[in-house]
Amino acid sequence: DAKTTQPTSMDCAEGRAANLPCNHSTISGNEYVYWYRQIHSQGPQYIIHGLKNNETNEMASLIITEDRKSSTLILPHATLRDTAVYYCIVRVWETSGSRLTFGEGTQLTVNP
């Protein structure tokens, strides 16, 4: 699986958009970009994933650059409950299940 690089920490004001960057310059053509988050003391939570097109769901938007070497997770209106460690993971889609390789992630702190 390709290695990812994320900032260690970020701050965001409540109600504003949180934009979390991720670099994955060695991503392969068949690797997807996944985002998970871990709120303190809870299990990781799936947020969104994409291959090359931008994606949006009820939680967030995922913007992937045209060369696929980087992506940005956008939380459009951050709330205090969005304070968590956000993990960007790149991996191949496998039918029989595959590991998630977690890095250090970005600690997002949403401030009132």
Partner 1 sequence: DTAVSQTPKYLVTQMGNDKSIKCEQNLGHDTMYWYKQDSKKFLKIMFSYNNKELIINETVPNRFSPKSPDKAHLNLHINSLELGDSAVYFCASSNQGEQYFGPGTRLTVT
Residues in the site for partner 1, rule: CB under 8 A? Answer: 32, 34, 38, 41-46, 49, 85, 93-102, 104
Grouping H, G, I as helix, E, B as strand and the rest as coil, residue 6 is: coil
Specify the pairing of strand 106-111 against strand 9-13.
parallel
Question: Toward partner 1, which CB reaches closer, 5 or 13?
Answer: 5
Q: Which residue(s) pair with 90 in the sheet?
A: 33
Least Cβ distance, residue 43 to partner 1 (angstroms) = 3
Whether 89 contacts 107, CB under 8 Å = no
Q: Give whichever of 66 and 99 is closer to partner 1, judged by the CB atom.
A: 99
In whole angstroms, the minimum distance from the beta carbon of 56 to partner 1 comes to 16
Comparison of 14 and 44: residue with beta carbon closer to partner 1: 44
What single-letter DSSP state applies at residue 8? Answer: S
